[in-house]
Amino acid sequence: MTIMFNKPVPLPSPPGTTTGTAVRLRCSGLDAGYPGRPVLRQVDASITALTVTAVVGPNGSGKSTLLGVMAGVIEPTAGDVVHAASVRPAFVPQRGAVGDTLPLTVRQTVEMGRWAGLGPWRRPTRRDRAAVDTAMERLGVTALAARQLGELSGGQRQRTLIAQGLAQGSDLLLLDEPTTGLDPEAGERITDLLAGLAGDGVTVVQATHDLGAARSAGDCLLLHDGRLVAQGAPQDVLTVSALTRIRYPATPPDRL
Ligand SMILES: Nc1ncnc2c1ncn2[C@@H]1O[C@H](COP(=O)(O)OP(=O)(O)OP(=O)(O)O)[C@@H](O)[C@H]1O
């Protein structure tokens, strides 16, 4: 198995996609999981550049595991992950992964997105500060800069964490359930912001249970039991029959 970050750009388009569509990342024959627990099996999937891709599937279907592999934090046990750029992806894990009680302000949280690129003394440069300012503005959290993380609403907190990912300056943003637990308005705001980022040169992949967010994505991967059962436009992938077949729980027929 291999994870490569330096393949030539662009990768060839997969069969069935529009000619000329640039592929940012491709998984081929991917197996991955945890010690004693195989999860992903033979996943072949492509992430289209400058698009929001939604990764959908029931609990335990392998969405977070797939994001972890794309982010390079989980090693595949078989297959390849090929990136069309040498820039490391920015990974925003699930909301619960960041403690609410951390004594951090919004600005300090976003600044952490720059840490990997700082020298041993962690002195931010003007460029670092500009990246933080831009990310905070883009996510609408500038006015919250001095607030503690624990004082924020769910939507504000989530936008702060996405700003931290954006501040990393990657062209690939991987988000694990960015709208889970938010009220519809806060969720829609994040969905719109992600679409705006894709329009501004960032490739976005989000694992989500939010079918509204998935339907407004440009592309969709449907996982079931660690296997990719469909990939394509949301209206072609998130059909009543496909969701019923995998017994996806959040599919009231009137919302399809
Ligand atoms: N750190 C871990 N160690 C062992 N098994 C794990 C670990 N993380 C997840 N799993 C298992 O791997 C499988 C896939 O989990 P994963 O989190 O990728 O699914 P998911 O589709 O993101 O689920 P959810 O929608 O509930 O977040 C599940 O059976 C889960 O219990």
Digit-coded pLDDT (tens) for 113-127 = 998 877 667 788 899
Query: What are the beta bridge partners of residue 30?
Result: 43
Q: Which domains does the chain have, with CATH numbers?
A: 1-87+204-256 (3.40.50.300)
Cα–Cα distance list, 58 to 71, 231, 232, 237 (Å): 21, 15, 18, 14
Q: Is the CB of 226 under 6 A from ligand 1?
A: no
Which residue's CA is minimally distant from atom 24 of ligand 1?
59
The pLDDT tens digits of the residues spanning 212-243 come to 999 999 999 999 999 999 999 999 999 988 88
How far does the centroid of ligand 1 lie from the alpha carbon of residue 65, in Å? 7
Name the pairing type of β-strands 203-207 and 52-56. parallel
Which residue's CA is minimally distant from atom 31 of ligand 1?
60
| ∠ CA 206-136-124, rounded to 5° | 110
Which structure tokens are listed for 184?
Answer: 């519809």
Q: Is a pLDDT exceeding 70 seen at residue 177?
A: yes
Cα–Cα distance list, 72 to 3, 4, 174, 224 (Å): 8, 10, 11, 22
Are 34 and 60 in contact by the 8 Å Cβ rule? The answer is: no
Query: Which pLDDT band, with edges at 50, 70 and 90, does 98 fall under?
Result: low
| ∠ CA 173-192-209, rounded to 5° | 70
- For the segment 140-166, the average pLDDT, to the nearest whole number, is 93
Which residue's CA is minimally distant from atom 4 of ligand 1?
34
Q: What ligand 1 atom has the least distance to the C-alpha of 223?
A: 21
Q: Is a pLDDT exceeding 50 seen at residue 9?
A: no
How far does the centroid of ligand 1 lie from the alpha carbon of residue 60, in Å? 5
How high is the pLDDT of residue 20?
A: 55
